[in-house]
Chains A and B, each alone.
Chain A
């Protein structure tokens, strides 16, 4: 089980740390926040290979963190002699008995700490010092990766040649199989891990026999004819035979079939589901780490539900899951408390979320918690009309849209305010909350959520009871009935409060788009001020 991921100098990660949860880890973040890179780095350090190929084969200058390279070049230009940029990926593992063979102090922890772990390091090869010195005369942003080398070792400083048995990992990516072989690298690995050694031997032997029978059968007549051909240089006999080299081993031709349809032809959702089941449910050598990339891709809502059910059911206590996602549904379903928010070089994690709150959002998986988590600042309102009006008020106060100020206005739509505030506090999100007083004194309404409010980052704003129970009467109090009637353009016959309450959203839109001036209720103005400065 991974207890700490440390990445230095790899792609967008200049110096990055993540402390994963023992079981479930959900990685969220905007596009380009480094979700895939993180998964890739973990898999790189666990397998010592990338996509089945050796690191040095795949290494290119873009693997290096551009910022570090830039700093290196700047220092170089300033006449200093900085060391060439390196890449280091360290995985710290839990101090389990079975992992002790990987235990040692060859890691970057300060002070010196011995624990099980593995690392992968890409660094300039001393053997090429001459060439490197040459290159350093006119350095540029494209590092000379040809002169780099790579080491993959345990924290005990022992070279690793293949993935340690105790660290079985399965990667399930959302990419669907396009390769002609029908089975991509990850699936092949999953399949191979799923089979017992004896089963594999049996298949391999059977396949050889089949190939041999082909040579003796259909090819035999052809070969008789070929033998008279004299095609070769010195008239040695030439014949056709099935290729028995490892290039054509069974792994490359045997593929899973679903309902008699080859895997690669199966639906994309089906493919993902099969991969997950195969990877997580192994009879031998139970897989310890499962990485699932964006399971929501290619899946209908129902399939996604089935898939998540399966993930939950298959996950055992000694499995550690990493799931990257863009879907609020996935996040809520798998449990908000497992969330890691990635923001390029930084990761924050939800700490101490009440289990009741986690369950609450699991029951309401459609709610857009991800939006709340990803926003820079949040304004929570009761419904769409509040949202629309506040946007206008904010623009009037600050001269720019909330969006432009990095503020996301989210409707709670009947959700418990305390739960939302707890979540905001857990991810340390600045938030302003507005709600109707519904005829109750604002001070009384504060009581139940008081502990989440701090007056600088999180605050609650409620209109005075005397100014009206809900948004609409509050607006009337602030603007006067005649002005509003004008703004809304309704006939004198109609009752203003009744109309506004009935046509909530419609009315709000009219007010928001009106060229006429609007006096905002005080609590809204305060909220707009607060969130801008929070």
Chain B
């Protein structure tokens, strides 16, 4: 049972780890599964430049994986007369839809939000499905595994028990993109709580977990601050930083609204906010927390949500999802992070002023 999970911190070169692994194992049939288009492009181009041409490696999205190896070949084990004609990412079945209309729209396109359930049920319906996968792939690598949602966990559990060697990298602290935001099943595993799930599987002997705690991106100040986002009961090990670059402005700072303009003019940070609805009082060139996953910026300016503000002022911990989103935003920065807070409260962070 050589399954393996590496839980890395942000900036821990997770993706590079996968690429390195592929480069070593050129003789095996490998599927590399990811959750975002950008991530797929990234891995493809890195593989092409670093691992050379190989026809034993396939990079695809999780949805593609479920469509190509579950839904398309085996749909008839649930609906003997039907075929999958496509994928409906946006659509949703009616609340009480049953049978085929639960899973597919009128054009026989599978609903994105029901694909996991369908895939899992097909897996249950016929042993051929798993046997087929075992013959096609020696290894399945999953990037950003924390983004699995609802039925995906059931599928992963079966894969962990199969002949296929499953290698996963992820960072439960940055689980912000769920593949199925509205799926109810396995809510308890969703988001950052997936850590518990992995630890249980490890206890069952299904996989081993290693922690990669070095960040090559964030300076120590930022890394240390990011460690405080989740409270100690999570048991995450501390992050160490390998970024020793020094500039004229390094570290984590609080920033008064009145100094924002000045600050932006001087350091040109990437401005981040939770979503379009937040930080409306600031007229800056924002990107949203969720949209910057995987990105690196020299400097970051962050407009906090009310909860983040109270975390900074009073040390009140965020709930898991919000914490994960905040963690992602914080750990984008290499050198400096400024958080727009007018009253520092109990925070010991230095306040920046011109």
Contacts and interface: CB of A to CB of B under 8 A. Distances in A.
Interface string A90-109: 00000001101101111000
B66 interface: no
A97 B77 contact: no
Contacts of B126: 105, 114
Interface string A71-96: 00000000000000000000000000
Interface stretch (B67-75, B215-223, B320-328): B67-75
Interface string B114-152: 000000000000101101100110000000000000000
Contact of B76 (A98, A105, A115): A105
A1 B72 CA distance: 23
A157 interface: yes
A101 B55 CA distance: 14
Interface string B64-95: 00001100111111001001100000000000
Contacts of B72: 104, 106, 156-158
A138 interface: no
Most B CB contacts (10 A, CB to CB) among A97, A101, A114 go to A114
Interface string B288-301: 00000000000000
A111 B136 CA distance: 25
A114 B74 contact: yes
Main secondary structure of the interface of B (DSSP, over half): helix
Nearest to B78: A112
A155 interface: yes
Contacts of B83: 106, 157
A110 B69 CA distance: 21
Contact of B73 (A103, A110, A111): A103
Nearest to B67: A157
A83 to B, nearest CB: 14
A277 to B, nearest CB: 30
A315 B69 CA distance: 34
B73 A156 contact: yes
Interface residues of A, number: 17
A157 B135 contact: no
A451 to B, nearest CB: 42
Interface in A154-177: 155-158
A95 to B, nearest CB: 8
Contacts of A97: 135
B77 A157 contact: no
Interface residues of B, number: 18
Interface in A383-433: none
Contacts of A112: 76-77, 80
A98 B135 contact: yes
Nearest to B80: A112
Contact of B74 (A98, A104, A110, A158): A104
A101 B77 contact: no
A105 B68 contact: no
B104 to A, nearest CB: 14
Contacts, number: 54
A105 B135 contact: no
A11 B286 CA distance: 65
Contacts of A105: 73-77, 126
Contacts of A155: 73
A364 to B, nearest CB: 45
Contacts of B128: 103, 114-115
Contact of A157 (B73, B80, B132, B136): B73
Given A114-B126, A114-B128, A157-B83, A101 B136 contact: yes
Most B CB contacts (10 A, CB to CB) among A97, A105, A111, A158 go to A105
Contacts of B68: 156, 158
A503 to B, nearest CB: 71
Most A CB contacts (10 A, CB to CB) among B69, B129, B132 go to B132
A157 B131 contact: no
Interface string A248-289: 000000000000000000000000000000000000000000
B131 A100 contact: yes
A244 to B, nearest CB: 25
A284 to B, nearest CB: 15
A106 B80 contact: no
Contacts of A114: 73-74, 77, 126, 128-129, 132
Contacts of B77: 105, 112, 114
Nearest to B68: A158
Interface in A104-140: 104-106, 110-112, 114-115
Nearest to B29: A101
A57 to B, nearest CB: 26
Nearest to B73: A104
Nearest to B69: A156
A103 B76 contact: no
Contact of B136 (A100, A106, A110, A115): A100
Contacts of A115: 128
Interface in B192-233: none
B90 to A, nearest CB: 22
Contacts of A111: 80
Given A106-B83, A114-B126, A157-B83, A100 B75 contact: no
A103 B84 contact: no
Nearest to A155: B73
Contacts of B131: 100
Contacts of A104: 72-74, 132
A155 B76 CA distance: 11
Nearest to B129: A114
Contacts of A100: 131-132, 135-136
A115 B127 CA distance: 12
A100 B164 CA distance: 15
A18 B129 CA distance: 27
Nearest to A116: B132
A101 B76 CA distance: 17
A106 B76 contact: yes
Most A CB contacts (10 A, CB to CB) among B73, B80, B126 go to B73
Nearest to A100: B135
A115 B132 CA distance: 9
A105 B71 CA distance: 10
Given A100-B136, A104-B132, A110-B80, 14 more contacts: A103-B73, A103-B128, A104-B73, A105-B73, A105-B74, A105-B126, A106-B75, A106-B76, A114-B77, A156-B132, A157-B83, A157-B84, A158-B68, A158-B73
21 contacts: A98-B135, A100-B135, A100-B136, A101-B132, A103-B132, A104-B72, A104-B74, A104-B132, A105-B74, A106-B76, A112-B76, A112-B80, A114-B73, A114-B129, A155-B73, A156-B68, A156-B69, A156-B73, A156-B132, A158-B68, A158-B73
- Minimum-distance CB pairs A-B, first 6: A104-B73, A100-B135, A156-B73, A157-B72, A105-B76, A114-B128
